[in-house]
Structure 1
Amino acid sequence: MTVEEIAVSVTNLRKSFSNKEILKGLTFQVDKNVIFGIIGPNGAGKTTTLRVLAGIIRHYQGDVKIFEISPTKAREKGYISYMPEDAFPYDRLTGLENLEFYAKIYTKTKEEFKEYLEKGIKIADLGDRIYDKTQEYSRGMKRRLMIARTLMVMPKVAILDEPTSALDVESAVRIRKLIREMKGETTIILSSHNMLEVEYLCDDIVLISNGEIVARGTPKEIVNNMGVKNLEEAFLVATGGKI
């Protein structure tokens, strides 16, 4: 694997809060333009890892590079776009105004602004509802808008924390379709509790438990290596649960 093919490199990543070690020496690489999953039970360290990669958590031990520069510098250069699990649009703005606001942050020319805005509208796929205030949107519509906001700026790395959390089946299916359609255009790193979703979306994953990587590979490789039927069972085995 050449340097040009590696989007993210993490070596011996450690992070503590209040003298409690949350991440205990994570090491992994993410290839360019793949969908990469970081999965694990609650409290495993997934969100902390994503926040380090996004350049939000700046103090940690170990080495983290996004296209050969630190996450902080990558964030400043606009390489990274991050959607937290609890991200919601501004309710008093319309869907279009939300996209316009975010596009202005990332663009320097009118042409680029127009390009990003048109892409955001297309990704969100809200029809005429794009002109309504988002306080009138369903949770699924809000989530689609937030993913559009994250992906429309064509970041080198898009980080999505639980993109389909608490959504109905129809909304979750539409969002997974959005994510799949971006494959090859940007590197997507996501977390999810839905193992069927992970199997469907992700090319490669790390499974974290108690701040450590307990499995790494494609979903199929992990299932085969553990001798189980699916990723849900692999998840239980790897995290000390029972089938």
Structure 2
Amino acid sequence: MELKLSGIKKAFDNNEVLKDIDFTFESGKIYALLGRNGAGKTTLFNILAEELKEDGGEAFLYKDGKMKQVESTDISYVYSDPILPEFLTGYEFIKFFMDINKDKIDKNKKIEEYFDIIKINERDRHRLIKTYSHGMKNKLQMLMFIISRPEIILLDEPLTSLDVVVALEVKRLLREIRSSHIIIFSTHIL
């Protein structure tokens, strides 16, 4: 499987942020977009996730010998600042997410098994999301791509808010799933 970017362009006013971006990402690998703040990493992610319109160019997904334009449903986007419904508990939110994505999920897995993967304990699962640390909110976002299994996973500064142990767990998880996904993360530090 491949994600092919061809001539992606984006400018804000007269400031050209992305200029004719051409690249091919392959499943089985983990890619890092390294650049200073303001370099255009998040802009590229927002274009791929259809949250921002590009000024030119296209993104295609090649899978099983077929080509199609990338759609937001092909992507799971882990934001640097998590956007989650803080009035729900982690459990309520993930249950809701599983209900609306039942056509994509592994029907043999229970919700508790998913929480175990990212090591959110029983007590914390039933706390309001607004009480979660930034790292726990990031883990919830990551749980969404574990459940929905999209072709493309975009992680915007995913490790900056995680403690060392959790960051190692996330890296291990990404290595385990990379064969069936295209994984791209952005960072300004390595």
Both structures adopt the same fold (TM-score exceeding 0.5): yes
1:94-105 equivalences under 5 Å are 94-105=89-100
Match of 1:126 in 2: 120
**Equivalent-residue separation in structure 2 for 1:83 and 1:11 (angstroms):** 23
The alignment covers a number of residue pairs equal to 185
> 5 Å matches for 1:1-243?
5-6=1-2, 8-67=3-62, 68-71=67-70, 74-75=71-72, 78-108=73-103, 115=109, 117=111, 120-128=114-122, 129-195=124-190
What secondary structure sits across from 1:184 in the alignment?
helix
Ranges in structure 2 where 5+ consecutive residues have no aligned partner: none
Q: SS state of the match for residue 41, structure 1?
A: coil
| Cα distance between partner residues in 1 of 2:113 and 2:49 | 22
Instruction: Decide which structure has greater helix share.
Output: 1
Q: Is the 8 A contact 1:38 1:190 kept in 2?
A: yes
Aligned-residue offset at 1:54 = 1.8
Paired with 1:50 and 1:134, the residues of 2 have a C-alpha distance of: 25
Distance 2:84 2:58 in 1: 33
* Change beyond 3 A, Cα 1:37–1:116: farther
| Matched-pair contact (CA < 8 Å) for 1:117–1:152 | no
Shift of 1:118: 5.4
Equivalent position SS for 1:30: strand
Q: Using a 3 Å threshold, how does the CA distance of structure 1 residues 112 and 181 change in structure 2: closer, same or farther?
A: closer
- Note the aligned Cα RMSD (angstroms): 2.4
Tell whether the 8 Å contact from 1:103 to 1:116 is kept in structure 2 after alignment.
no
Q: Is the 8 A contact 2:78 2:138 kept in 1?
A: no
> Rg: which structure is higher?
1
- CA shift in 2, pair 1:117/1:81, >3 Å: farther
**What is the rounded CA distance, in whole Å, between the counterparts of 1:179 and 1:32 in structure 2?**
12
Relative to the length of structure 2, the TM-score reads 0.84
Which residue in the other structure is 1:230 paired with?
none
- Equivalent residue letter for 1:152: I
Cα distance change on mapping 1:177 and 1:112 into 2, 3 Å = closer
Contact preservation (8 Å) 2:9, 2:54 = no
User: In structure 2, do the counterparts of structure 1 residues 63 and 39 end up closer, same or farther at CA, with 3 Å as the change threshold?
Assistant: same
